[in-house]
Amino acid sequence: MPRRPNPDLEAEILDAARKLWKKGGEKALTMRAVAKAAGTNTPSVYRRFRDRDQLLRGMLERIRLTVSGQMNSASSAEEACERYLDFALSNTHEYELLFRHGYELYHSPRARQAIGQPVSQPAREAMRRKLVERLGESPDNHEPLLTALWMVAHGTAMLLIAKSILPKDAVEARAVFTATVAALLRGAEGR
């Protein structure tokens, strides 16, 4: 009797890849290690993911949806920024995947050839909606503010992850982040 294909195998492979990445980052993620962690074989992984880049794109898409989901459920733009930072600090390897490989997997000329279509940015869209809720107007009017908030959040995340801000100063740095986000939003209301 032939084996029945596992309809959940793709999700299991992505779960295994995420766990490996979370534990050991880029070095831990080989197609063979993913197959073993998912309880399957390497050819099964390659049947679902043409190459490592496609597997990374699958992981990135899940991470991007997780971050945007947390931001979408925030009650305010300030809370959305806090949730973004919380995700980065609680999931440092996954955050590294977002920003170390995001360009090369989604936006580089090589990636555009491979995927052939523009890629959505769900976290950016979530924040854009929060700004429209708070400030009104067209989403396009908020692009400079959106970029400033992202730069503040990403910069804070990277400084804390890299321990360029010492752990003993992390609470104060977080308070400065919160105050900066509030000031940016207040300034936008005053225009």
CATH code for position 68 = 1.10.357
The CA-based dihedral angle spanning residues 109, 117, 143, 105, taken in that order and rounded to the nearest 10 degrees: -50
57 falls within a domain:
no
Q: Is the dihedral of CA 55, 126, 170, 99 positive or negative?
A: positive
**What's the rounded mean pLDDT across residues 11-31?**
91
Q: Same domain for 32 and 78?
A: no
**pLDDT of 101 over the 90 cut:** no
Note the pLDDT of residue 19: 93
Task: Provide the number of structural domains found in the chain.
Answer: 2
Note the pLDDT of residue 155: 96
The CA-based dihedral angle spanning residues 160, 164, 169, 174, taken in that order and rounded to the nearest 10 degrees: -30
DSSP of 1-28, one letter per residue? -PPPP-TTHHHHHHHHHHHHHHHHGGGG
Note the pLDDT of residue 79: 97
Q: Same domain for 38 and 72?
A: no
**What's the rounded mean pLDDT across residues 184-189?**
94
Find out whether 71 and 84 touch, Cβ atoms under 8 Å.
yes
**pLDDT of 1 over the 60 cut:** no
Q: Same domain for 107 and 21?
A: no
Buried b (16+ CB within 10 A) or exposed e, 56-85: bbbbbbbbbebbbebbbebeebbbbbbbbb
pLDDT tens figures, 114-141:
777 666 788 999 999 999 999 998 888 8
Note the pLDDT of residue 85: 97
Q: Same domain for 169 and 146?
A: yes
**pLDDT of 86 over the 90 cut:** yes
- How high is the mean pLDDT of the chain? 90
Q: Same domain for 90 and 114?
A: yes
> The CATH number of the domain where 21 resides is what?
1.10.10.60
Confidence class of residue 4 from pLDDT cuts 50, 70 and 90?
A: low
- Show the domain range for 122: 63-189
Type of residue at 122: P
78 falls within a domain:
yes
Please tell me what DSSP assigns to residue 169.
G
Find out whether 60 and 105 touch, Cβ atoms under 8 Å.
yes
**pLDDT of 2 over the 60 cut:** no
Find out whether 177 and 85 touch, Cβ atoms under 8 Å.
yes
Note the pLDDT of residue 41: 94
Residue 125: which residues within 8 A CB-CB, separation 6 or more?
68
Find out whether 77 and 133 touch, Cβ atoms under 8 Å.
yes
